[in-house]
């Protein structure tokens, strides 16, 4: 893989702002890949910020606590969907749109597709209804590109068990059947929008995933 110095000279800093989301089941490694892209962008002199969902704003982080606490076990799945959307509306207005208006790239750890995968495919809510709600939530802002990290439930759960002292949050605690529905849902979303989604096999060693990402995103989409 080329060094950062070699990468930089191919990339003028005057690219228009882009909005990139990272998706996948819990434990797929998307945060690490997002940090890698932020590093490449910084090295190339392209301004970017990283954020996450749920969260990314003071209000959103409070909503995140409520959503992920194991003490919220009795939450209705409609309340759950609306809280994820509330956090997203706040993030869109307070962080994403203002940054993009200034020409800053926005990288986000999850966005609308997480609601389609988890609350649509996972919880069984109607996808068309969710789409209408999301159009309103984000004022029809969609990612320019969505990086989907795909790996088996077993690999992902192993990774989650190895962090946070083995503690699982409310969603991670769901059974394998739920996580499998979410994984298959993500793949269905990617198949329906092949232009927007880039699917990476995340069961490989991290170095290989990063190299694949470099070739198929940085060189193919950003690079010249």
Residue numbers at the binding site for ligand TMP (CB under 6 A):
26, 52-54, 84, 109-110, 114-115, 118-119, 171-172
Q: Which residue is nearest to ligand TMP (CB)?
A: 118
Cα→Cα distances 121→44, 46, 124, 184, 185, Å:
38, 36, 5, 8, 5
Q: How far is 165 from 220, CA to CA, in rounded Å?
A: 38
| Nearby residues of 172 by Cβ (< 8 Å), 6 or more positions away | 26, 27, 160
Across the beta sheet with 48-52, the strand order is 48-52, 105-109, 19-23, 145-150, 197-201
For 15, the enclosing helix (H) or strand (E) is none
Q: Render 138-190 in DSSP notation, one character per residue.
A: TTT---SEEEEEE--HHHHHHHHHTSGGG---TTTTS-HHHHHHHHHHHHHHH
| Residue 107: CB minimum distance to ligand TMP, A | 14
Sign of CA dihedral 33, 87, 150, 199: negative
Helices assigned H by DSSP within 24-175 = 30-43, 58-68, 77-91, 97-101, 112-114, 127-137, 153-161
């Amino acid at each position: 893989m080329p060094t950062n110095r070699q990468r930089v000279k191919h990339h003028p800093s005057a690219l228009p702002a882009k909005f990139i989301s990272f998706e996948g089941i819990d434990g797929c490694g998307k945060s690490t890949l997002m940090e890698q892209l932020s590093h490449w962008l910084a090295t190339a002199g392209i301004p970017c910020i990283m954020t996450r969902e749920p969260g990314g704003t003071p209000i959103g982080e409070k909503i995140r606590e409520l959503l992920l606490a194991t003490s919220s076990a009795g939450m209705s799945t409609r309340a759950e969907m609306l809280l994820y959307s509330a956090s997203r509306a706040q993030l869109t207005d307070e962080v994403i749109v203002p940054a993009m208006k200034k020409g800053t790239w926005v990288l986000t750890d999850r966005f609308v597709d997480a609601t389609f995968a988890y609350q649509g495919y996972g919880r069984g809510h109607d996808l068309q209804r969710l789409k209408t709600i999301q159009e309103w939530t984000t004022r029809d802002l969609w990612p320019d590109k969505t990086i989907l990290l795909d790996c088996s439930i077993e690999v992902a759960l192993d990774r989650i068990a190895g962090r946070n002292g083995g503690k699982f949050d409310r969603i991670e605690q769901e059974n394998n059947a739920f996580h499998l529905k979410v994984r298959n849902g993500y793949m269905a979303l990617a198949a329906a929008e092949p232009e927007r989604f880039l699917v990476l096999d995340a069961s490989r060693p991290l170095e290989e995933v990063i190299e694949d990402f470099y070739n198929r995103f940085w060189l193919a989409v950003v690079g010249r």
